Amino acid sequence: MAADHSNSSTEQSKLSALKMRLPLIGLTGGIGSGKTAVSNLLAQFGAGIIDTDLIAHQITAPNGKAIPRIQEYFGAEFIDAKGALDRTKMRSLVFQNPEAKKALEDITHPLIRQETIKQAYRLADADFPYLVFVVPLLIESGGWNEQIDHLVVVDCPEDLQIQRVMQRSNLSRDEAEAILKTQTSRQTRLAAANTIIENQGKLTELNGPVELLHQKILGIQKARLSSS
Ligand code: ATP
């Protein structure tokens, strides 16, 4: 399921209020680029992480907030025996049916936005120094630019993305390539970035660049405080 989560005007104003309090960081990258690897490291350095993909999964898990509406619109055959969204079935439907894709997004996106804001305020109140919004389709969804102070793009060559996705999700090359094709180009993403984290070596090679990023973000807050 796609997770773009553009912001409605209500959410935008809530995020603008939060942005006055602490730095808001967007973190994106193509499928399999390493967003989770980078956000896990940032969490270790003390960042508050809001993972919109995780939220998308939670609301479509058993008893998830989106389940009753999905069942009502698409029918019980899209809900599995445990009460969760049948992802495989839904994926194949929305891949070939743009109307179904839009209907699913109309159900899920508002719920994802509400939960994103809720988590962001909770983390801000818990005194995290800055917040990182992990949004796979941040560039595609629009509306995020004004909401964040800094955009981090995790990047690696497309062939490496394909290999990782094939291995992790047990997909064929064609299936992995088809998903990549639905996402914005690598060039577009890189052009929008304030910081690019390259992830084409070993996972441990991320430590240094991510620590530098963490220091840079702390610097954003220091500069704000000293100018206020
Ligand atoms: P998605 O958009 O699909 O959720 P992602 O951008 O969050 O992916 P990760 O989940 O961090 O990416 O990584 C995708 C897969 O590639 C995982 O199985 C992860 O363990 C592996 N991986 C990521 N970076 C590296 C690396 N530098 N070396 C080896 N494996 C890696």
Determine the structural domain holding residue 210 and report its residue range: 17-47+128-220
CATH of the domain at 40: 3.40.50.300
| Residues 146 and 37 reside in one and the same domain | yes
User: Is pLDDT above 50 for 192?
Assistant: yes
pLDDT in tens, 51-65: 999 999 999 999 999
User: Is pLDDT above 50 for 1?
Assistant: no
| Residues 96 and 195 reside in one and the same domain | no
Atom of ligand 1 nearest to the CA of 205: 27
pLDDT in tens, 118-168: 999 999 999 999 999 999 999 988 788 889 999 999 999 999 999 999 999
From the CA of 15, how far away is ligand 1's center (Å)?
Answer: 28
From the CA of 35, how far away is ligand 1's center (Å)?
Answer: 7
Distances (CA, A) of 48 to 43, 127, 153, 220: 6, 9, 17, 15
| Residues 71 and 122 reside in one and the same domain | yes
pLDDT in tens, 21-45: 999 999 999 999 999 999 999 999 9
| Residues 215 and 168 reside in one and the same domain | yes
Report the pLDDT value the prediction gives residue 3, as an integer from 0 to 100: 47
From the CA of 224, how far away is ligand 1's center (Å)?
Answer: 33
For residue 6, tell me if it sits in a domain. no
pTM given for the model: 0.92
For residue 106, tell me if it sits in a domain. yes
**Hey, what amino acid is at 96?**
Q
| Residues 159 and 186 reside in one and the same domain | yes
- CA 65, 68, 73, 75 torsion-angle sign: positive
CA-based angle 223:226:228, to the nearest 5? 105
From the CA of 195, how far away is ligand 1's center (Å)?
Answer: 18
Instruction: State which of 28, 91, 164, 200 you would mutate to test the pocket of ligand 1, scoring each by most atoms of that ligand within 8 A of its C-beta.
Output: 164
Q: In the chain, how many domains are there?
A: 2
pLDDT in tens, 64-109: 999 999 999 999 999 999 999 999 999 999 988 999 999 999 999 9
| Residues 205 and 94 reside in one and the same domain | no
- DSSP summary character for residue 145: G
Please name the residue whose Cα sits nearest to atom 12 of ligand 1.
34
For residue 115, tell me if it sits in a domain. yes
| CA–CA separation, 87 and 80 (whole Å) | 9
| Residues 108 and 206 reside in one and the same domain | no
| Residues 169 and 90 reside in one and the same domain | no
Atom of ligand 1 nearest to the CA of 134: 7
From the CA of 85, how far away is ligand 1's center (Å)?
Answer: 24
| Residues 25 and 102 reside in one and the same domain | no
pLDDT confidence bin for 221, thresholds 50/70/90: confident
